[in-house]
Amino acid sequence: MNQQLTVRELFDQVGERMKLRWLAGQRGENRSIQPGGQQSRRPSMAGYLNLIFPNKVQIIGTDELQYLDSLDPRHRWEMIEKIMNFRPAALVITKDQAPPADLHAAANETDTPLWVSSLRGHDLLTYLQYHMARALAPTTTLHGVFMEVYSIGVLITGDAGSGKSELALELITRGHRLIADDAPEFTLIAPDVIDGTCPELLQDCLEVRGLGILNVREMFGDTAIKRNKYLRLVVHLQRVDGDINQQPIDRLRGDASSHEVLGVPVPMLTIPVAPGRNIAVLVEAAARNHILRLKGYDPAQTFIDRQAHQIRRHAP
């Protein structure tokens, strides 16, 4: 789903860092900022004053104020009226410049939030674009345990009772870090980058059957918890009925496929769960092997090439 936030929420989130002061239009604090809809044609969520494709947050710098001052009174008022009719989320004046009286009055009249900052326009633009793109990015919640294993984000999935939490606990004791249990949240922060975090309600908690809720931070220390991580690998635990050796598995590459998250294909490895198997060691090996693949080394292909080379050497 796509996120949304109000002008008040945006001000509270970035106001201190961006040194913002709210001058006028306080009654417009509930204006909603969200991607899509009538604003989908806009090139940016934040940008310098644009009267053709208005931005959601319009930044008014020295040049923009000089342009308004260059207009005769009639055209100046028409221009200000046009700006307000676009219903921007907010107007931001840079470098602590005094807002023109007519712009201040129009903001109050139309309930358009008018902010002023001591920062330069470029600094405001850079941070606002990053913050709003992140806050409004598509998100989803998946069932599983999200871990950092050997520096990469690994989502452990499987049916209820397949041993996800026990596996996570074993990985934590082996020095890896928990990000979120049961319902990690994932955000598409770039076209092919998915960031995973933990909901505030579940922070530091791990539920293990028979033990109940465990606080991982209190039990293992701050180093056992990771705030967020990019999703790089999905490990699916699949319970096996009968003899595991009779299961149809690719002996060279394993049961590898991909799982689509927010439209991005993520490599997925299915690990059969059976008595006597050390799943924690297998997950560690899967993470190490994935890192090798990211570096361009494919052990299965290397073995195939060796075999082909041997066949050519002994060919008559």
CA 222 to chain centre: 22
Q: What are the residue ranges spanned by the domains of the chain?
A: 5-135, 139-307
Query: How far, in Å, CA of 257 to CA of 53, rounded?
Result: 43
Annotated binding site: 158-165, 207
Query: How far, in Å, CA of 113 to CA of 22, rounded?
Result: 7
**What pLDDT, on a 0 to 100 scale, did the predictor assign at position 109?**
93
Letter for the amino acid at 173? T
Domain 5-135: give its CATH superfamily: HprK N-terminal domain-like (3.40.1390.20)
Query: How far, in Å, CA of 158 to CA of 145, rounded?
Result: 10
Question: Among 3.40.50.2300, 3.10.150.10, 3.40.50.300, 3.40.50.620, what is the CATH number of 139-307?
Answer: 3.40.50.300
pLDDT tens digits, the chain, 316 residues: what are they? Answer: 557 789 999 999 999 999 999 999 999 999 888 775 444 454 578 888 887 778 889 999 999 999 999 999 899 999 999 999 989 999 999 999 999 999 999 999 999 999 999 999 999 999 998 888 888 888 999 999 999 999 999 999 998 888 899 999 999 999 999 999 999 999 998 888 999 999 999 999 999 988 999 999 999 999 999 999 999 999 999 887 766 665 666 666 777 788 999 999 999 999 988 888 899 999 999 999 999 988 888 888 888 888 888 888 887 7
Letter for the amino acid at 259? H
Alpha-carbon dihedral angle through residues 235, 237, 238, 244, given to the nearest 10 degrees:
90
User: Active-site positions?
Assistant: 143, 164, 182, 251
Computed over its alpha carbons, how large is the radius of gyration of the chain? Answer: 27
Annotated binding site for Mg(2+): 165, 207
**What pLDDT, on a 0 to 100 scale, did the predictor assign at position 194?**
95
∠ Cα 103 104 109 (to 5°): 95
